[in-house]
Amino acid sequence: MDEPTAQNWEERDRSHLIHPFLPADRKDRVVIVSGEGCRLTDARGRSYLDATAGMWLCQVGHGRREIAEAAADQLRRLEYSTVFWDFTHDRAIALAERLVRLGGVPGRRVLFTGGGSEGVEVALRMARGYHHRRGAADRTWILTRSAAYHGAGYASGELSDFPAYTTGFGPHPGQVHRLSAPYPYALGQPPERVTDLLLQELEAAIAEIGAHRIAALIGEPVLALGGMVAPPPDYWPRVAQALRRHGILLILDEVVTAFGRTGAWYAADRMGVRPDLTVLSKGLTSGYFPLGAVLADEAIAGVLDSHEGFPAGHTYSGHPTGCAVALANLDIIEREGLLAAADRAGALLGEGLGGLRELPRVGEVRQYGLMAAVEIVQGHGRREPLPEGTYALADRIRDRTGVLVRGGPRALTLAPPLVISDAEVAEAVAGVREVL
């Protein structure tokens, strides 16, 4: 039988798939068929430099044989078993132990999920359930922030600052209050003023809603889709302190930032903040298997495990093959020193992109660990973002130079695999420069 041609794959895709965020009248398709290191290849044989690490998740690079072998070994030994009720298995236990050890806070416990949105839903349930079980059933409000992305579920979608998820889909859980994000450029404020201003806003919101009615605040340590924005260094420690004073839990969404992306296992540790709940996914398996986890501090876990236990789970929670893949992935990150590598490559990327600052369409360049962004503005002294976002610009960079970057509402973002070489960093910067 003849091998299907690239055009044939594209036609079959158009006839059979629904793609998130792709209108039917857009005909182009990029049919990716293989990957190695930081490179992806499509069905037409074109090679791309993946400066997005898939969806900001492929820490160890594409095509790692040792992860494929770990998955195959596990599939042969025990492909699936549940962690519901009193069932458990060796891979989930080993991985949970390791996730707790990496954070250095003893007593934390882990509930596994199938991905990021699912983890956010679980964390919300944990936060509200924790208060309810302690006799504070009125604590149901959730504080979230502008420019946030927390997933595509009904609750996680509502927490995201993403109107497409809430418009036209009927009622959402509600009782969500949105605060400003610590995004100095968008706020038009110098970074050193931002924490003071946002703490005033936080205290005012708590006073208005009533601390006794608020369950938690959720936030990404570094805003990812919002534009790779790291807050001023005093932001998270001071926010955490204020929340603790009011009995409000802190949920950190580390779906993007954990496992080396910010040069640390968990961004929280680098930022000197201790969350009550941490949502993890993406870099946990580098995308070799869909898996996520929620880390709960000892006090929260103790309350949730009381009575009849924590009443939520999913068929694929703690999937043994996913856990085996995660363990192999964490082995590589550790063995190859990828936390330090992320910092080094990040600094190089930040420096390279910094050279674009003089271009009229570049408002700001940001970098934290191996997360970087180029804020695109209307130009000629105008700080406003492009009304249509930077999505088409990212497509142009891909089509013209073969460098994959992500578009967004305001910025072009780059978060390549942590194994990226110096030459590949230079190639990514050159691709962005050529189109800008």
Instruction: Select the residue interacting with ligand PLP from 220, 276, 364, 424 (CB under 6 A).
Output: 220
Nearest distance in Å: CB 295, ligand PLP:
14
Q: What single-letter DSSP state applies at residue 45? A: S
Q: Which residue is nearest to ligand PLP (CB)?
A: 116
For residues 195-205, one letter each, b for 16 or more C-beta atoms within 10 angstroms of the residue's C-beta and e for the rest, the string is beebbeebeeb
Closer CB to ligand PLP, 260 or 352, in the complex? 260
Nearest distance in Å: CB 61, ligand PLP:
19
Contact (Cβ atoms closer than 8 angstroms) between residue 327 and residue 347? no
Confirm or reject binding of residue 116 to ligand PLP (CB under 6 A).
yes
Confirm or reject binding of residue 202 to ligand PLP (CB under 6 A).
no
Closer CB to ligand PLP, 54 or 352, in the complex? 54
Helix (H, G, I), strand (E, B) or coil at 366: strand
Nearest distance in Å: CB 59, ligand PLP:
14
Closer CB to ligand PLP, 55 or 136, in the complex? 55
Instruction: Select the residue interacting with ligand PLP from 52, 59, 74, 117 (CB under 6 A).
Output: 117
Residue 58, φ and ψ in degrees, nearest 5 = -85, 75
d(CA 342, CA 417): 8
Neighbours of 46 (CB within 10 A): 14
Write the binding mask 22 to 61 for ligand PLP: x where contact by CB under 6 A, - elsewhere. Answer: ---------------------------------x------
* Of 116-124, 178-186, 294-302, 328-336: span binding ligand PLP (CB under 6 A): 116-124
End-to-end CA distance of the chain: 45
Instruction: Select the residue interacting with ligand PLP from 37, 54, 103, 115 (CB under 6 A).
Output: 115
**Which string of DSSP letters, residue by residue, matches 98-156?**
HHHHHHT-TT-EEEEESSHHHHHHHHHHHHHHHHHHTT-TT--EEEEETT----SSHHH
* Of 234-242, 251-259, 389-397, 417-425: span binding ligand PLP (CB under 6 A): 251-259
Neighbours of 402 (CB within 10 A): 17
Site for ligand PLP, residues 80 to 109, rule: CB under 6 A = none
Nearest distance in Å: CB 223, ligand PLP:
8
The secondary structure element, H or E, covering residue 292 is strand 292-296
Confirm or reject binding of residue 130 to ligand PLP (CB under 6 A).
no
Closer CB to ligand PLP, 352 or 417, in the complex? 417
Contact (Cβ atoms closer than 8 angstroms) between residue 157 and residue 120? no
Confirm or reject binding of residue 326 to ligand PLP (CB under 6 A).
no
Q: Which tokens sit at 44?
A: 């037409």
Provide the pairing of β-strand 292-296 with 277-280.
antiparallel
Instruction: Select the residue interacting with ligand PLP from 64, 91, 131, 150 (CB under 6 A).
Output: 150
Instruction: Select the residue interacting with ligand PLP from 141, 149, 236, 265 (CB under 6 A).
Output: 149
Confirm or reject binding of residue 151 to ligand PLP (CB under 6 A).
yes
Q: Which tokens sit at 198?
A: 């946002």
Cβ contacts of residue 116 below 8 Å, gap of 6+? 150, 151, 156, 253, 255, 279, 281, 282, 292
Closer CB to ligand PLP, 64 or 150, in the complex? 150
Residue among 46, 18, 20, 52 nearest 34 (CA)? 46
Instruction: Select the residue interacting with ligand PLP from 122, 256, 365, 370 (CB under 6 A).
Output: 256
d(CA 339, CA 385): 33
The secondary structure element, H or E, covering residue 350 is helix 338-354
Confirm or reject binding of residue 408 to ligand PLP (CB under 6 A).
no
Q: Which tokens sit at 355?
A: 């050279």
Length of the chain equals 436
Site for ligand PLP, residues 263 to 322, rule: CB under 6 A = 281
Confirm or reject binding of residue 113 to ligand PLP (CB under 6 A).
no
The secondary structure element, H or E, covering residue 65 is helix 65-77
* Of 13-21, 71-79, 146-154, 202-210: span binding ligand PLP (CB under 6 A): 146-154
* Of 25-33, 83-91, 115-123, 258-266: span binding ligand PLP (CB under 6 A): 115-123
Instruction: Select the residue interacting with ligand PLP from 96, 225, 273, 374 (CB under 6 A).
Output: 225
* Of 65-73, 250-258, 269-277, 395-403: span binding ligand PLP (CB under 6 A): 250-258
- Residues near ligand PLP (CB under 6 A) are 55, 115-117, 120, 149-151, 220, 224-225, 253, 255-256, 281
